[in-house]
Amino acid sequence: MGEPNIVLTRIDNRLVHGQVGVVWTSSIGANLLLVANDDTAADPLQQELMSATAETSGVGIRFWTLQKTITTISKASARQKIFLVVRNPEDVLTLVKGGVPIKQLNIGNMHFSKGKTEITKKVYMDDTDKAALKEIAAAGVDVFVQDVPEDKKQPLEEVI
């Protein structure tokens, strides 16, 4: 098998919702949404809600654990233009360390929670998040913050 055609990887706490499933998917020309998240892979209700959004966009959607993503993504067809969506930086780091060929990482939405500080209006990070993102960038991934496609990309080194 060849290398999977991952057109973009995005961190979004909400995973697939209107902005991801419609705006981003059409903007980057993806035809498959791949949600790599252990909890969602085991939650039929979350899958049903996200599948409805994908259906609206006319794209396929899969829900895989991180491990299944690592072991299976290399079998993707060249026709599949994959939009990989994950919940947090630590999950992306797991995928990168597992050999998933991520070239670009869009940080889109990381909600506020205790101990996190504001990076942008929609991105909050703690030291663990920052360390994971720096390690991902050090592995050669282009890491940037961008809420919607028409926003200017903010390189990681400019925001943390």
The 10s digit of each residue's pLDDT in 124-135 is 999 999 999 999
Cα 4 to Cα 79: distance, rounded to the nearest angstrom: 9
pLDDT of res. 2: 73
Confidence of residue 1 (pLDDT cuts 50, 70, 90): low
Distance CA 38, CA 73 (A): 15
**What confidence score (pLDDT) does residue 145 get?**
98
Domain residue spans of the chain: 6-151
Among 43, 49, 151, CA closest to 107: 151
| The pLDDT of residue 19 | 84
The whole-angstrom separation of Cα 121 and Cα 74 is 35
The string of pLDDT tens digits covering residues 27-72 is 999 999 999 999 999 999 999 999 999 998 999 999 999 999 999 9
Catalytic residue check, 17: yes
pLDDT above 80 for 152: yes
pTM: 0.96
Mean pLDDT of 144-158: 96
Task: Assess if CATH 3.40.50.1370 describes domain 6-151.
Answer: no
pLDDT in tens, 103-124: 999 999 999 999 999 999 999 9
Across the chain, mean pLDDT equals 96
Q: Cβ atoms within 10 A of the Cβ of 75, count? A: 9
User: Which entry of 5, 13, 14, 17 is annotated as an active-site residue?
Assistant: 17
